[in-house]
């Protein structure tokens, strides 16, 4: 059976408007609900991020406190490193007298006998001299003086030649070589004097000073 709407046209129009209004209200409610859910979700995410940020700030603060506590040890380590470097530089700039004497004992001829040995370290090779790198003893300077006795002048020449094998010595020069007056019945002998220079450092010796803190 066909359905017939017996409502007047005005009532039908009114009903249509009411249904449209109801649909609009339902849609608006739905939008508000969705927006509410989105707001709750965003608030939850913001809260989680804020908690994470607070945690990170706490960790940063803890690291900063730890760094502040360890800063004195870092300064001590820096001073230790500087002292070790200075000590190494001083050792590298030390005149190796023990090595020179050991090498001298190996190269001295059998017929040569030393009566005296004097060494003077030049000012340019002393710590704090402030000389330029490689600027040690000038050519011709006298830092080491050998005095001794032998039987022949050729022994003196051989001794000078062998001194040239010692890396720490340079500018080996004959000061004198004379025949000594022999006692009756004794063979004559030669006295000589040979000078040399200490080879300059490749780098200047470091300047070392005592700080005020270290002296307290």
43 backbone dihedrals φ, ψ, rounded to 5° = -60, -40
- CA R_g for the chain: 49
List the one residue out of 147, 124, 108, 101 whose CA is nearest residue 201. 124
Beta bridge partners of 193: 147, 176
Task: Please tell me the predicted confidence (pLDDT) of residue 213.
Answer: 46
Distance CA 181, CA 189 (A): 8
Q: What is the pLDDT of residues 101-158, one digit of tens each?
A: 899 999 999 999 999 999 888 777 766 555 444 444 444 467 899 999 998 989 999 9
Q: What is the pTM (predicted TM-score) of this model?
A: 0.50
The whole-chain average pLDDT of the chain stands at 78
Q: What is the pLDDT of residues 49-100, one digit of tens each?
A: 888 888 898 889 888 888 888 888 888 888 888 888 777 766 665 667 888 8
Distance CA 67, CA 10 (A): 84
Beta bridge partners of 119: 144
Provide the phi-psi class of 176: left if phi over 0, else alpha when psi is between -120 and 50, else beta: beta
């Amino acid at each position: 059976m066909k359905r017939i709407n017996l409502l007047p046209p005005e009532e039908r129009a009114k009903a249509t408007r009411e249904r449209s209004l109801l649909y609009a209200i339902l849609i608006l409610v739905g939008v508000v609900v969705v927006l509410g859910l989105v707001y709750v979700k965003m608030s939850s995410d913001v809260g989680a991020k804020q908690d994470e940020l607070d945690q990170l700030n706490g960790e940063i603060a803890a690291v900063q406190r730890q760094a502040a506590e360890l800063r004195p040890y870092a300064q001590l380590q820096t001073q230790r490193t500087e002292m070790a470097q200075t000590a190494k530089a001083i050792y590298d700039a030390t005149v190796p007298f023990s090595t020179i004497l050991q090498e001298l004992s190996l190269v001295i001829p059998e017929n040569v006998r030393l009566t005296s040995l004097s060494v003077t370290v030049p000012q340019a090779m002393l710590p704090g001299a402030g000389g330029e790198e490689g600027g040690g003893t000038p050519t011709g300077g006298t830092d080491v003086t050998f005095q001794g006795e032998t039987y022949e002048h050729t022994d003196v020449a051989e001794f000078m030649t062998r001194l040239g094998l010692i890396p720490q010595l340079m500018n080996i020069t004959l000061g004198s070589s004379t025949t000594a007056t022999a006692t009756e019945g004794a063979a004559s002998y030669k006295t000589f004097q040979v000078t040399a220079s200490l080879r300059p450092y490749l780098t200047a010796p470091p300047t070392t000073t005592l700080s005020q803190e270290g002296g307290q």
